[in-house]
Amino acid sequence: MESDPKSLQAVMEAPTLSGKVITVFPKDDGFNNFIKSVILKNEVQNTKQPFYVLHLGAVANLMDQWVHSLPEVRPFYAVKCNPDPTLLAAMAALGSGFDCGSRAEIESVLSLGSVGPDRIIFSNPCKMESHIKYAATVGVNLTTFDSLDEVEKIRKWHPQSSLLIRLKSPEDARVQRQASDSKFGALPEEVVPLLRAAQAAQIPVVGVSFHVGTAVKNFRAYAAAIEAAKAAFELATRLGMPQMRVLNIGGGFTAGQGSFEEAASMVRAAIHTYFPDAEPRLNLMAEPGRFFAESAFTLATNIIGKRVRGEAREYWINDGIHGSLAGEVALECGNGNLSRCMPLAGTSKEVFSSTVYGPTCNSLDIVLKGYWLPELVVDDWLIFPNMGAYSSAFKSSFNGFNTSLFSTYVVTDAGSFSSTE
């Protein structure tokens, strides 16, 4: 899908992006050639540090896809997925709101200058007291909760706030991440006591939120959660509370191969089923992170070592599970299976079953196992596409390998931007 030139124009002309170098590359082979040209730069040749390339045209394209498939649902980009300031500025220029989980995330969004506090949801159901006080100071007045103690904290430190009750997604247990089972979301039997507590504290509960878990594959999870949300709306009415009006469907979307279309049509159908009348009055929001960030960033890593054992090839690269691949480990959606890479060089036709290690002395720091690669040599580069989600966000300097040193180069393609020179 071609992006609407207007979307990209908005990004390129955003005041917060001015001063950034944005390289416009020719449509077809331009992207790989750009990476090759970066590798030849002195600053890269001197250190061989890994680097990221952020493709703004891809971000604009994703926003067009979102608006096309979920026109009623306003995205609040989940900052934790990738807090890169250029990406945040681009999302702001595209009209997105922001889901922040901490004081520092709120600060980084407000510091863009173009986003007011009304475009931010503090979507962490358990917040530090000092962060709540900060939200009150800057006027971030929408947050989530799933415990009685949180109601009490809000009453004390930010009584101007409105609340969304965070529900446990009914299909959580079937989502790939078992860890998500117990941490977040009110159980069905907890909804009434939580609503009563907010009522007693005189803090308005204006709606419901849930999050089905990142990269969800079972899209029925959205329908089940929207059904549960409807039940909570009805409970609130029965308790004599003002009609709820916000439905926040969280994140979990991926951009790849029709999966977004499928998830979006599941969401649309469930909203139509469970909120048929409320629709005109209903405020629909979402908190996509991965959807916007994942495919926008490409990572280039340098091969720093090699070992041959019979037919097997082993390579060391200068990024691994304590750096950009941390998310794959922490979120259990990788284990060396999800990440896919391609060599920039290595023209041999023959391929070898290869292991790719990260640079640290942790023996678990393995990026890929049994992955077929052509014969490569030390100082070749391995390129990882789709590395924007939960990657650089897990900054670390474990073992002295400091991922904050990685540069990000910003590009877009000429095809999606009409008014380039």
Ligand X SMILES: *Cc1c(COP(=O)(O)O)cnc(C)c1O
Do 173 and 181 touch, CB atoms closer than 8 A?
A: yes
Residue nearest to ligand X (CB): 251
Binding map of ligand X across residues 284-303, x = CB under 6 A, - = no contact? ---xxxxx------------
Whole-angstrom Cα distance, residue 355 to residue 371?
6
Q: What token pair was written down for 215?
A: 């990269």
Residue 169 interacts with ligand X (CB under 6 A)? no
Residues in the chain: 421
Q: How far is the CB of 359 from ligand X (least distance, A)?
A: 27
**Tokens 């091969």 sit at which residue?**
303
Do 387 and 324 touch, CB atoms closer than 8 A?
A: yes
Residues between 88 and 107 that touch ligand X (CB under 6 A): 99
Using the minimum distance from each CB to ligand X, give the nearer residue, 97 or 288. 288
Q: 10 Å Cβ neighbour count for 224?
A: 18
Using the minimum distance from each CB to ligand X, give the nearer residue, 97 or 289. 289
Residue 322 interacts with ligand X (CB under 6 A)? no
Residue 55 interacts with ligand X (CB under 6 A)? no
In the set 58, 81, 112, 284, which binds ligand X (CB under 6 A)? 81
Q: How far is the CB of 206 from ligand X (least distance, A)?
A: 17
Cβ neighbours of residue 19 closer than 8 Å, sequence gap 6 or more:
none
Q: How far is the CB of 251 from ligand X (least distance, A)?
A: 2
126 is catalytic: no
How many residues sit close enough to ligand X to count as binding (CB under 6 A)? 16
Using the minimum distance from each CB to ligand X, give the nearer residue, 299 or 366. 299
Residue 211 interacts with ligand X (CB under 6 A)? yes
Using the minimum distance from each CB to ligand X, give the nearer residue, 207 or 250. 250
Query: Segment near ligand X (CB under 6 A), from 17-25, 150-158, 249-257, 319-327?
Result: 249-257
Q: How far is the CB of 4 from ligand X (least distance, A)?
A: 23
Q: How far is the CB of 212 from ligand X (least distance, A)?
A: 8
Using the minimum distance from each CB to ligand X, give the nearer residue, 101 or 415. 101
Using the minimum distance from each CB to ligand X, give the nearer residue, 304 or 330. 330
Whole-angstrom Cα distance, residue 126 to residue 221?
23
Residue 251 interacts with ligand X (CB under 6 A)? yes
Residues between 347 and 376 that touch ligand X (CB under 6 A): none
Using the minimum distance from each CB to ligand X, give the nearer residue, 84 or 413. 84
Q: How far is the CB of 286 from ligand X (least distance, A)?
A: 8
Do 114 and 128 touch, CB atoms closer than 8 A?
A: no
Q: How far is the CB of 315 from ligand X (least distance, A)?
A: 30
Catalytic annotation, pick one of 100, 333, 341, 361: 361
Annotated catalytic residues are: 361
In the complex, the residues that contact ligand X under the rule CB under 6 A are 78, 80-81, 99, 123, 211, 214, 250-253, 287-291
